[in-house]
């Protein structure tokens, strides 16, 4: 098994086809196809279903993909750690993050970089995910941690660190405090959700549209904590990701027919990046994927 085989496999999944992956990696389509076939032969499992018009992951491929991405992130971290000893990395990195971000691994990595690389200056900008995508595309940010549903804007590369379904956060004893719910069960309730331009809001709206429901939101806010405190006080049902409801007195109830997941990931523009930006991206990915 070779690292470039894992890189080809991950690129095919990210791009949706052999052709697009070959274009992104600047190699021939036949070369990618041959190397992925060799990988499948060595593993003794078919990773990609090539029978339809679209490339799909097989069950084995679904299981292998996150491991392959973790291996690639670790490989990049090793290379950049070695490079740090050869030549001290310096420069300024413009980093964006979602509103109200308090992920310990994300904040720890930024603080640690200041200690290990005083020559790197990090400027941090908070915003909504849609706005952050626009800023990264325009070049005013080098990279950003965003929430999204589906795919990111063309011209961006996304490394997903969290992929989870949306849920309903309800007070204990509420009529909707059940083992699971469907989106239609929320009709008649006040809905609390994040503001437009966030990944969770996009996942909620898309899931509703897929089954013909109006994705009504009665109260929106930029912080999950604000919505959870309102839900605790009986202001409504908070639609959020499961991880954002941890540590509260609310019940986290799965929404069984919410088809679109909320994702959290690091985005950059396609192409070359400064050594300082690449170093921070590598460290953030390693920390977030490990967490």
pLDDT score recorded for residue 56: 86
Distances (CA, A) of 197 to 53, 134, 203, 211, 221: 32, 11, 11, 21, 11
**Domain 92-290 in the same topology as domain 3-85:** no
pLDDT score recorded for residue 86: 46
Rounded mean pLDDT for each run of 10 residues along the chain, 291 residues in total: 87 87 86 89 89 84 89 82 64 91 89 87 92 94 93 90 92 93 95 92 94 95 92 95 84 93 92 87 89 64
125: nearest Cα among 91, 102, 99: 99
36: nearest Cα among 68, 82, 70: 68
In sequence order, the 6+-apart residues with CB closer than 8 A to the CB of 90 are 117, 119, 120, 276
Instruction: Provide the CA 282 distance to its chain's centre, in angstroms.
Output: 15
Q: Indicate the fold that domain 92-290 takes in CATH.
A: D-Maltodextrin-Binding Protein; domain 2 (3.40.190)
Domain ranges of the chain: 3-85, 92-290
CB 18 within 8 A of CB 29: yes
DSSP 67: H
Distances (CA, A) of 229 to 112, 248, 249: 32, 9, 10
Look up residue 9 and give its two tokens. 């496999």
Which residue has 């952050």 as its token pair? 132
In sequence order, the 6+-apart residues with CB closer than 8 A to the CB of 119 are 88, 89, 90, 91
Cα 22 to Cα 3: distance, rounded to the nearest angstrom = 16
Report the predicted TM-score, pTM, of the whole model to 2 decimal places.
Answer: 0.66
CATH architecture of 3-85: Orthogonal Bundle (1.10)
């Amino acid at each position: 098994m070779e690292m470039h085989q894992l890189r080809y496999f991950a690129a095919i999944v990210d791009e949706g086809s052999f052709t697009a992956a070959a274009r992104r990696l600047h190699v021939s389509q036949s070369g990618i196809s041959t190397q992925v076939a060799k990988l499948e032969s060595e593993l003794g499992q078919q990773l990609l279903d090539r029978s339809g018009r679209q490339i799909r992951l097989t069950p084995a491929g679904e299981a292998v993909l996150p491991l392959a991405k973790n291996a690639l992130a670790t490989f990049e971290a090793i290379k950049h750690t070695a490079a740090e000893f050869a030549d001290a990395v310096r420069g300024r990195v413009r980093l964006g993050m979602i509103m109200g971000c308090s992920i310990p691994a994300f904040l720890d990595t930024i603080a640690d970089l200041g200690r290990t690389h005083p020559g790197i200056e990090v400027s941090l900008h908070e915003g909504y995910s849609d706005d952050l995508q626009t800023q990264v595309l325009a070049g005013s940010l080098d990279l950003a941690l965003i929430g999204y549903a589906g795919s990111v804007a063309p011209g961006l590369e996304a490394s997903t660190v969290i992929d989870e379904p949306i849920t309903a956060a309800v007070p204990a004893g509420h009529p909707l405090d059940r083992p699971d719910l469907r989106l239609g069960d929320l009709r008649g309730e006040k809905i609390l959700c994040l503001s437009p331009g966030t990944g969770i809001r996009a996942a909620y709206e898309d899931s509703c549209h897929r089954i013909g429901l109006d994705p009504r939101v009665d109260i929106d806010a930029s912080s999950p904590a604000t919505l959870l405190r309102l839900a605790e006080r009986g202001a409504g049902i908070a639609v959020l990701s499961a991880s954002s409801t941890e540590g509260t007195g609310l019940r986290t109830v799965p929404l069984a027919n919410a088809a679109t997941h909320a994702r959290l990931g690091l985005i950059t523009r396609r192409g070359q990046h400064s050594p300082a930006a690449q170093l921070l991206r590598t460290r953030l990915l390693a920390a977030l994927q490990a967490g």
